[in-house]
Structure 1
Amino acid sequence: MSETPLVFMVVTLAFLAVFIVVDLFVIGRRPHVPSTKECARHIAFFVGAALVFGGLLWLVAGPKPAIEFYSGWLTEYSLSIDNLFVFVIIMGEFAVPRLLQKYVLSVGIAIALVLRGVFILVGVSLIDRFTWIFFIFGAFLLYTAWKVARGQDEEEYKENRLVASLRHVMRISDEYDGERLRVSKDGVSYFTPMLIVFLAIGTTDVMFAFDSIPAIFGLTRDPFIVFTSNVFALLGLQQLYFLLGAMLDKLAYLPVGLSIVLAFIGVKLILEALHGNSLPFINGGEPIAAVPEIPTWLSLAVIVVAIGGAAVASLVKARRQGLKLSRRDPGED
């Protein structure tokens, strides 16, 4: 059950609905490449809105839900930035015109919101009935952390079987025709590559949800906080895509920071599962009451230090590389 007053939840969901409609279906429908200034303003607005929301949550529900929200939002936002690597590769793989990329991202984010909503409902239902599911979530996050640390998540985009099979059973044109999914040439109907791009983004969003939902449940079981953390993390993602598009290769240590966060949350989930469940091969089949519980403030501290440290280290490395290049003697090449 949520500790947040019902009136506050209803008002929040109404405001978020407006934000989503404006961000995805008003601004997102305008086919243009946003300027750096426009992107910065948009992102600053939604980051500020998330910070204000956390403060209001602190006032109406107390510090614990607010800290859980900040922890969840930072985690989901960090994962969203990492996912931009894959979006960049997908856009390049299917040669999406730059003017249409904003529209594609709008549809992809809308799909992600729906999928994450479904995953949250399923996750809450499973946790209420089977708390031992935290063992599975924890193990999955540890495995994901290992993959992220090795750089296996964003090395290259591999077309999944659904997308690949469609190429063999459907007529797909070679060129885009604006936002249209279907065109007619010489009396023959073709699907445009836009359909394939939507399917690639949508099916990739499913994999993103598998990463993000277990991570957020490791920080809070409140479905309201889980949902709002995800929504605030996805709002403004279009502008973040264009702002960071040229900088993603400079965030060299972001995977390291993310792997630390995911591994920490994975351990936290397993400890919580050990605390509340009995296993026949541990402690004589009795729950382990002495298992330490990781406080919410510590989770927030680890997330801030890991992600913040990775960002600072990445910028320092990029700056040093830039200085080395600027000092290099042209005759050396």
Structure 2
Amino acid sequence: MAVSPVVWVLTLLGIVALLLFDYFFHVRSAHVPTLREAAIWSTVYVGIAVLFGLGTFVFGGTAMGSEYFAGYITEKALSVDNLFVFLIIMTSFRVPRENQQKVLLVGIVVSLIARAGFIFVGSALLNTFAWVFYLFGIALLVTAGNMLKPETEESHSAQNIVVRLSRRLFHTSEEYDGDRLTTVVDGRRMMTPMLLVMLAIGGTDLMFALDSIPAIFGLTQNVFVVFTATAFSLLGLRQLYFLLDGLLDRLIYLSFGLAAILAFIGAKLILHALHENNLPFVNGGDPVEVVEISTGLSLVVILIVLLITIFASLFSTRGRTQTAMAHIRRDATAYLDAEYTEDPAERERIFQRLLRARDHIAALGPQAKQQVRNETELMALCREVADAHAAAHPDHKIRPSL
């Protein structure tokens, strides 16, 4: 279905307005968002995306509406998986909690611009060369295979090529200067780590776009649906980051679910490529009669796989244990870092979360204890934080250290 230029302009203006609203009313004044604030605004942005999807059903028809929701859900799931990498990057750069919102919003804007470019280039290629469907399908199958490899925090690096090149070409200060991108040290203008972490997030977003765009083109070739589903999946990602903080490590099977979804979409793309085939060395250049997978079936498969993945992760003892280990490492480092935050409530929040993680590991049975790596080191971190908290709050009673 062709979409009129007026609808395109109105949609783009609406997206820009949401981004500006997000900046001026939430990000411009540096603060640590509460769980309630993150939950409310995450719900608002998901609600906006759903209302837009219902609008596509009404004005674009059932097929267009189904394509939008299939694309939106897939892109949203992929963006949640990407949040884990964002968390590692910001932890590596020791980004103050108050300034993490600004970093995320800049990352969202960069990601949206990059994806828009990839979408229009990809659409032009698909409309000109039918064999590109084969390439997209193979790319998704390869990505699905890579997602099955075991991943830990150590397997991700914040020092990507963009950051390494920036460090080599420009002078960089060791400390943050609020949320400024540059600062003056000893009379010399330098970049701050804030600019470097934004470059790291932006460079990582470019890599994510190479995976996500072929995935959504496997569900629809309608450029308007591809763009809007991608855009609305990114809007609200900042709030979702703070809402899911603490659960990201818990979703231990999410990568397996996403691998299954990407493999499914990759197979769907290859079947479509065979149906539209014009390569001379495949069936003599004639289309191959194959069964094509409908958008409705794709939507059902995506939803079922995601639900199974999420519930399996949330009710897994291994997932809770891995979350506890990750919380101890990150929360202990953050609490002992005087520059992590100036908000006493935030410091108390991560301290209480660390205690809960410590108690979880202490309560594990002998068989589950085998899943814990470096328990002695983790408990030593807990004791160090407990001592620091006791020194800062002599009137507080802390549950005994191990």
Matches within 5 A, 1:1-333: 2-4=1-3, 7-152=6-151, 155-157=155-157, 159-288=159-288, 290-318=289-317, 321=320, 328=364
Letter paired with 2:296: W
- Partner amino acid for 2:269? L
TM-score calculated relative to the size of structure 1: 0.92
Q: Contact 2:183–2:190 at 8 Å: present in 1 too?
A: yes
> CA, structure 1 residues 180+118, in 2 after alignment: closer, same or farther (shift >3 Å)?
same
For the structure 1 residues 184 and 13, does the alpha-carbon distance in structure 2 shift closer, same or farther, using more than 3 Å as the test?
Answer: closer
RMSD between aligned alpha carbons? Answer: 2.3
Measure the CA separation in 2 of the matches of 1:256 and 1:97.
32
CA pair 182-328 structure 1, distance change in 2 beyond 3 A: closer
Counterpart residue type for residue 314 of structure 2: L
Q: What displacement does 1:281 show?
A: 3.2
TM-score of the aligned structures, taking structure 2 as reference length = 0.77
Partners of 1:158 and 1:177 in 2: CA distance? 20
Give how far 1:160 is off.
2.2
Check the 8 A contact 2:92/2:158 in 1, yes or no. no
Contact 2:249 2:319 in 1 (8 A): no
Mapped contact 2:159–2:200 kept (Cα < 8 A): yes
SS in 1 for 2:315: helix
Question: Which shifted more, 63-72 or 175-184?
Answer: 175-184
Partner secondary structure for residue 184 of structure 2: strand
Q: What CA deviation, in whole Å up to 9, does each residue of 1:287-317 have, x standing for no partner?
A: 21x1111111011011101111111111111
Q: Distance in 2 between matches of 1:320 and 1:261?
A: 21
Contact 1:24–1:110, Cα closer than 8 Å, also in 2: no
Any conservation in 1 of the 2:88–2:158 contact (CA below 8 Å)? no
Change (3 A) 1:182 1:321: closer
AA of the residue aligned to 1:302: V
Measure, in 2, the Cα distance between the counterparts of 1:197 and 1:125: 33
Unaligned runs of 5+ in 2: 322-358, 370-401
Q: Percentage identity across aligned positions?
A: 46
Within 2, Cα distance between the matches of 1:90 and 1:182?
Answer: 19
Q: Measured at CA, do residues 324 and 88 of structure 1 come closer, stay the same or move farther in structure 2, by a change above 3 Å?
A: closer
Q: Aligned partner of 1:228: which letter?
A: T
> Which structure is higher in RCO with an 8 Å CA cutoff and minimum separation 6?
1
Shift of 1:130: 0.9
Give the superposition deviation at 1:71: 0.3
Q: Distance in 1 between matches of 2:365 and 2:139?
A: 48
Q: How far apart in 1 are the matches of 2:165 and 2:12?
A: 39
